Amino acid sequence: MPWLGSLAFAQPLLLAALVALPAIWLLLRVIPPSPRKRYFPPIRLLLGIPDEEKTSARMPWWLLALRTLIAALLILAMSGPVLQPVPGAGRPGPLLLVVDDGFGAAPGWPRMLDAVERVLISARREDRPVLLLRTAGSEAGLQLLATTAADAQAELERRGPAGWPVDREAALATLAGLQDLPAAVWWFSDGIAPGPEGQAAAVTLAERLRALAPVRLVLPEQGDAPLLLRPGDPTAPGLAFSVERAAATGQERPLRVLALAGKGEVLAHVDAPIAGDGRSASGVLQLPIDLRNQVERLEIEGRRGAGEVVLVDERWRRRSVGIVAPPDEGTDQPLLAETWYIERALGPYAEVRRGAVAGLIEGEPAAIVLPDAATLTDQDRAALAGWIRSGGVLVRFAGPRLAAGDDPLVPVPLRTGDRQLGGALTWEKPLKLAPFPTDGPFAGLAVPDDVTVRRQVLARPGPELTDAILAALADGTPLVTGARRDDGWLVLVHSTADPSWSDLPLSGLFVDMLRRLTALGRGDEQRASGNLRLLSLLTGPGLLAAPPPGMEAVPAAGFGEIRATAATPPGFWSPVELQPGDTEIPRQALDVSQNLPPLEAVDGPLLGVPEIRVGPSSETELGPWLLAAAFLLALLDLVATMMLRGLLPWRRPGQVAVAGTAAVLALLCLALPGAPARAQESAPGDDARAMEATEVTRLAWVRTGIAKVDELSAAGLEGLSLVLRDRTSVEPEEPLPVDVESDDLALYPLLYWPVPPEHPDLSEAAVRKVGDYLRQGGMILFDTADAQRTMADEAGPGADRLAAIFAELDLPPLSPVDAGHALGKSFYLLPNFPGRFAARTLWVDNPRSQVNDGVSTIIVGASDFAGAWAVDRYGTALLPVTPGGEEQREMARRVGVNVVMYALTGNYKTDQVHVPALLERLGQ
């Protein structure tokens, strides 16, 4: 593509036709215009007189210039001129695209795709083949794909970003077999590398690319720079986390981390801003134990990427465990009390409570521990038996009291008395523990050499004993036995919980064994055994999806030491033996951050290549503009010709020349290159804006000046427009932004107005304009979007800001939408009005029936409707919906349809003529 400064031509050979312009000029000069007819009776006297000399009148110079200009514009338009195009390659060969499509590319993936598309358009102009290398790869490995520009674009759009890091070393190995030398290399990088080793791999890859062809590095915008959310210690009192970025930018990065339940409900949030000169921040989410155990994931608010998500598995659960003992037992001599050792073992991982059997069962603990010193009545035994059958886990310790009695609340029959190993009156020595069975709850735990057992309670031999042994001593006698009782477990440790009978309570193994036993009721006894399969895949945008077919299982042993890759992608993993339909599936989370070194920055100076930041395209195709100018000039040429032939009335002949000269000068100005005007850039209140708003139906949203809020509003109304086109007779075009300070609000029947806490103040004139708009029949849906920050229907910061903005405006009182309001039946029958967050009360004004036909003009909600409607350029939902998931998103879309239909039809559905049809739909 030849360049001329900032101008290039897709078909430069057609410019050779400009050489013909002088010939066209001469040709037009010798062709005079058609003569005008004038009826003059005396002319008959001249008939018959021979005309010796005939002279043709010349074409006016301005008409000659006009037609020459038309020819020049057509030639230039057909040559494909492009203003400030994407740089092409100056030599033959394919175009090599290296795309970092790992988790770091997910936040800015749509904008990265736009940048790739601009490069591929340039490749299509030059008819170049494309070599595509995705550095994250797939389970099949990295592949260098030879394809066309159109297929490369489709491939990137189809697969999207991966949920694991890129592998630049594998990319370097893939390029080793490259046969055709590329003409140019475009590297679309995520701008990060895992640790110094990752930086070194990026530098090596850049050296290899520079050896192939000139390299251009494209990096994401500052706001799209990836972040990494890392989990803290799962055993900490709160949900600890840290957030890191690759480089300090000098500007503070405000962030908020959310704790979400299984269906997306926001259970807690905490701000964790990164200082301008810092690269990381940390925080702790404090939750009651019941809410903490419902948390499924932590994520950074407003971000879309697997790196900004931490999946919460059983390691984070803090169960409630009861100990049957008086509250003050062991306070005088704690080291002699069994409860002291049990509490120290379970305290970091569970909420431990003491009390009587009845009180503990009433608190619904996950497990109850019964020391040997505790005494049970027949009523306590019956209560414990019923609680076990309903899913409880009873962990009982043996001792002198159990050895001397005959207690039926044991998993296996016991012999009377106890067995002593070691001492002056026995030949037997203390025994060590045997390795744990691979299919039991203690599978995978290492047996320490310094743990010995000196006394134990023996079980009676029987056929059921073998299956009941969960742990044994070196001679095969049971140390821990257990048996299922319907949905629960009854477990007996055949030794005491204090060091009087064994060294076990003094070891770390005692802690691990108690943790495994208290988790038996939730199926975690299979946690570390066998192999694990992928249960739910964490995609690049940070959403859970079904795993791809053919994904291989991985050993459970050492699962915590692996890293997220294409072969072991992030997500929830579960034992192979379980089925997806099981209600109790022990899950192990694999996050992107697991075993990943700290992020380091990758930029142009480090790699030694030119650096480009992703941004809006400055490329402008001039061909359509030139064709339009040529067409208008041709119309003027037609008018001018008709005037010269006398087909149009003119009082003076000189007016023709003046009009023609003015037309040429005006159209020369029109033909000058310029950028297409956009609706947002048109002058406020001009005719073009009015025509654009009224010729077709458009939804409108109020511009707040806050980029994040405005982008979400635009995406939300675009999604709602798609729903309206699919389901109703309303066919809205692209939504328009509205500036309440300058635009004419009367052009729009409905305005969507987001009101965040940081909404800027309005001028007094703007407030009065809003009041006039409402009094004249306009409707505004105010959305404070602060439902996740408040409890029940209390006013949030957005509602307070709304009240402050319009404090001086005389607005009517608001009331909740009742069952008879037309808003609940204008299209769909709606029992409530959810948005991105759970349904909150929707408030409306109630004007008198003689005012605006009784139609409400103000609707106020807090559920973030635009967040539920928002879609990207491919129609994919942008944000999760909580707590109802996709079902709630569907209801939110119906709310949007009802609001639009209510704004367009008013109280139409409240007319009595529709009562029979509505009753029929309600089944009445």
Q: Between 300 and 882, name the one with better pLDDT.
A: 300
Tokens of 497: 């919980």
**Minimum mean pLDDT among 105-114, 142-151, 437-446, 809-818: which range?**
809-818
Residue 706 has pLDDT above 80, yes or no: yes
Q: Between 668 and 398, name the one with better pLDDT.
A: 398
Question: pLDDT class for 58, splitting at 50, 70, 90?
Answer: low
> What is d(CA 185, CA 204) in angstroms, rounded to the nearest whole number?
15
Stretch 105-129: mean pLDDT:
85
pLDDT of residue 150: 87
* Degrees to nearest 5, angle at CA 347 with 344 and 352: 110
Residue 45 has pLDDT above 60, yes or no: yes
pLDDT of residue 626: 81
Cβ atoms within 10 Å, residue 271: 11
Question: pLDDT class for 425, splitting at 50, 70, 90?
Answer: low
How is the beta sheet containing 319-324 ordered, strand by strand? 350-355, 319-324, 367-370, 393-397, 488-493, 478-485, 469-472
pTM (predicted TM-score): 0.56
pLDDT of residue 501: 92
Residue 221 has pLDDT above 90, yes or no: no
Tokens of 830: 């709606």
Chain CA centroid to CA 776, Å: 40
As separate numbers, helices (DSSP H) first and strands (DSSP E) second, the chain gives 23, 42
Q: Could you give the 3-state DSSP secondary structure of residue 519?
A: coil
Average pLDDT, the chain: 81
- In the 3-class helix/strand/coil scheme, how is 703-718 assigned residue by residue? CCCCHHHHHHHHHHHH
Stretch 380-391: mean pLDDT:
91
pLDDT of residue 38: 65
Most confident option among 174-178, 535-539, 835-839, 872-876: 535-539
Stretch 520-542: mean pLDDT:
72
Output b/e per residue, 914-924; b: 16+ Cβ within 10 A. Answer: eeeeeeeeeee
Q: Between 529 and 203, name the one with better pLDDT.
A: 203
**Minimum mean pLDDT among 654-663, 699-708, 747-756, 805-814: which range?**
654-663
User: Could you tell me which of 743, 736, 781 has the C-alpha nearest to residue 901?
Assistant: 781
pLDDT of residue 676: 40
Residue 857 has pLDDT above 80, yes or no: yes
pLDDT of residue 583: 43
Stretch 410-436: mean pLDDT:
82
pLDDT of residue 55: 47
pLDDT tens for residues 659-699? 555 555 555 555 444 444 433 334 444 555 566 656 778 89
Question: pLDDT class for 329, splitting at 50, 70, 90?
Answer: low
Residue by residue, DSSP assigns 732-766 as: -EEEEEE-TTTS-GGG-SEEEEE--TTPPP--HHH
pLDDT of residue 696: 78
**Minimum mean pLDDT among 178-192, 420-434, 869-883, 908-922: which range?**
908-922
- What proportions of the chain, in percent to the nearest 5, are helix, strand and coil? 35, 20, 45
> What is d(CA 573, CA 586) in angstroms, rounded to the nearest whole number?
8
> What is d(CA 102, CA 191) in angstroms, rounded to the nearest whole number?
11
Q: Are the C-beta atoms of residues 109 and 158 closer than 8 Å to each other?
A: no
**Minimum mean pLDDT among 89-103, 307-321, 660-674, 833-847: which range?**
660-674
Q: Could you give the 3-state DSSP secondary structure of residue 285?
A: strand
> What is d(CA 359, CA 324) in angstroms, rounded to the nearest whole number?
10
Question: pLDDT class for 227, splitting at 50, 70, 90?
Answer: very high
pLDDT tens for residues 244-273? 999 888 888 899 999 988 777 788 889 999
Q: Are the C-beta atoms of residues 679 and 692 closer than 8 Å to each other?
A: yes
pLDDT tens for residues 346-384? 887 787 888 899 888 888 888 999 999 888 888 999 999
Residue by residue, DSSP assigns 137-196 as: -BTTB--EEEE-HHHHHHHHHHH---SS---HHHHHHHHTT--SPPSEEEEE--SEEEHH
